[in-house]
Amino acid sequence: MQVRWPSLLAFSIAATICCCATVDEVQRDAWPVFHGNARQTGLASSALPDQLEIVWQFKAKDSIEGAAAIQNGVAYVASMDENLYALDLATGQLKWTYKAGPVKASPSVDRGRVYVGNIDGVFHCVDAATGQKRWTYEAGAEITSGANFTVDAVLFGSGDETLYCLSKDGQARWKFKVPGGPVLGSPAIVGDRTFAAGCDSTLHVIDVATGKEVGEGVDLGGQVGATVAVIGDMLYVATMSSEVHAIDWRKRSTVWKYEPAKRRQPFYASPAVSDKVVVTGSRDKRVHTLDRKTGNEVWTFDTRDRVDGSPVIVGNRVFVGSMDKNLYILDLQNGMQLRRIDLGGPITGTPAVAQCRLVIGTNEGMVFCLGKK
């Protein structure tokens, strides 16, 4: 581990409340979309106990590669075993199972419905209470993107180079084409704007109402497989060319760019962003934490395998999984390891945090809920 900035004063409170003021931005004590809120910041509004215990475990029949969605005391988890599971957050008891096809994507939940796409290109809408199908929509290729929402629409990306916007009854409103490759990341939404970045190495700013691009795209210098994160006018995105970019999305200009000094490998993890730092993981086996204003390296932490799972910030701690089978708990201020929990299988999924519980899945098909018993 390498430490570059020894202190971030008075950070715990700020990290908990930053960008969580509106219902549209984040549902309090819920984790409804891939990285927790509409802006995909990976910043939890719920606290976690100082000492985490494994409260319950659930075994699926194949890998779990996305994040859970959590709302109203239920965790929704999708697996490559073709099932979408609804699990009681308190006990882990199975409430219902829905046949969704093989799923890599993270499910999302909004207004009593669960949404998830599968690798066959079918996007499902399911009743959150009963697990009954409401509707399906056929996209043109594999879906690894999670969904995000406006008041009356649902957005997701697909491997057919398209960002889709559907009405809540499953009718297409618009399609935005990203030339050159799949749209892998989950869309972030800020007011009347959303964003698409894919294999054309360009960030596109899109009007949510019309699906039209606003101004010129921003050159990222590399393909994107991760989800962007947004705070205010600033957007943060990690690329497969081993860079992290900070972009003023209103001006459509790059503010800074970070490149690791050694062991350059692609970033597949999505950045978590607080008011002070940007945290992401890389295939160089490290967690990278950067000053949000300057892009300067604050600290890095070495795991034992690549970090494709996206980190989550909870108060003054970072939670992130690695392909080395461990869930790491790190001090946000200095990158020191507070704890390492062996979950028995490689982790490409992302933690979901709500109601003082953390839910995460492994590539062995295990779902773990951690909190206080």
Q: Which tens digits make up the pLDDT trace of 264-282? A: 999 999 999 999 999 999 9
pLDDT in tens, 298-308: 999 999 999 99
pLDDT of residue 165: 98
The two counts, helices (H) then strands (E), for the chain are 1, 33
The model's pLDDT over 43-78, given as tens digits with 9 standing for 90+, comes to 999 999 999 999 999 999 999 999 999 999 999 999
From 199, 190, 61, select the one nearest 141 (Cα to Cα).
199
Indicate the number of domains in the chain: 1
Residue written as token pair 């993107």: 145
Q: What is the pLDDT of residues 176-199, one digit of tens each?
A: 999 888 999 999 999 999 999 888
Average confidence (pLDDT) over 35-46: 97
- Coil vs helix vs strand at 373: coil
Give, in order, the Cα–Cα distances in Å from 235 to each of 36, 247, 362.
16, 5, 29
Element (H, E) at 362: none
Report d(CA 173, CA 3) in Å as an integer: 48
DSSP secondary structure letters along 326-349: EEEEEETTT--EEEEEE-SS---S
Mean pLDDT of the chain: 92
Domain range spanning residue 280?
A: 2-371
CATH of the domain at 36: 2.130.10.10
Q: How far is CA 217 from the centre of its chain?
A: 23
pTM: 0.92
Angle at CA of residue 189, ends 163 and 327, nearest 5°: 90
